[in-house]
Amino acid sequence: MAHPGERIPIASDHAGFELKERLRTVLSEMGYSVDDIGTHSTASTDYPDYAHPLSQQVSDGAVQRGVLLCGTGLGMSYVANRYPGVRAAVSWSPEIAALARKHNDANVLVLPARFVSDEDAIAILRTWLETPFEGGRHQGRVAKIEQTNEHGDDTPGSGA
């Protein structure tokens, strides 16, 4: 389910740089317009510096989805999932990526660059891009993600 010309931002820290470069090429070859947010070398960097701008774009609706990479994927996912409307999924296999899309409507793919091969990362990326959200019974569950307390009030700390 490729969306030719769709703009997809991609970002990594130093641990994900080399794999990001490979995936950037794959995305371009698939017909996507790639927005490389950085980093641009293997020099040590701080993952939040790259996760914040990408996550903001997804949260604001400027883009529908994005790709983040760091050593474990965890740091990037912690930052991304703080943004309203962002559902960032650390995926280490195509099966996890497919379920993240089908059941959770994941709109940010996070790859653990130190724990997946280039080939596996490409398969994960392709699966994530091509798998649609199933909706149905999952729609209500995804809607509940934005709720912050047991009363369904979306204001943090409100309700008692």
Quote the crossing angle between the two packed helices 118-130 and 94-104, to the nearest 10°: 20
Is 71 marked as binding a ligand? yes
Compute the distance between CA of residue 143 and CA of residue 57 in angstroms, rounded to an integer.
20
Is 148 marked as binding a ligand? no
Is 140 marked as binding a ligand? no
With contact defined as beta carbons under 8 Å apart, do 48 and 79 qualify? yes
Is 72 marked as binding a ligand? yes
Enzyme catalytic residues? 70, 103
Compute the distance between CA of residue 147 and CA of residue 144 in angstroms, rounded to an integer.
5
Is 141 marked as binding a ligand? yes
Is 152 marked as binding a ligand? no
Six-digit token string for 28: 């371009």
Is 153 marked as binding a ligand? no
Compute the distance between CA of residue 16 and CA of residue 24 in angstroms, rounded to an integer.
12
- Residue ranges at the known binding site: 13-14, 71-75, 104, 114, 137, 141
Binding-site residues for D-ribulose 5-phosphate: 13-14, 71-75, 104, 114, 137, 141
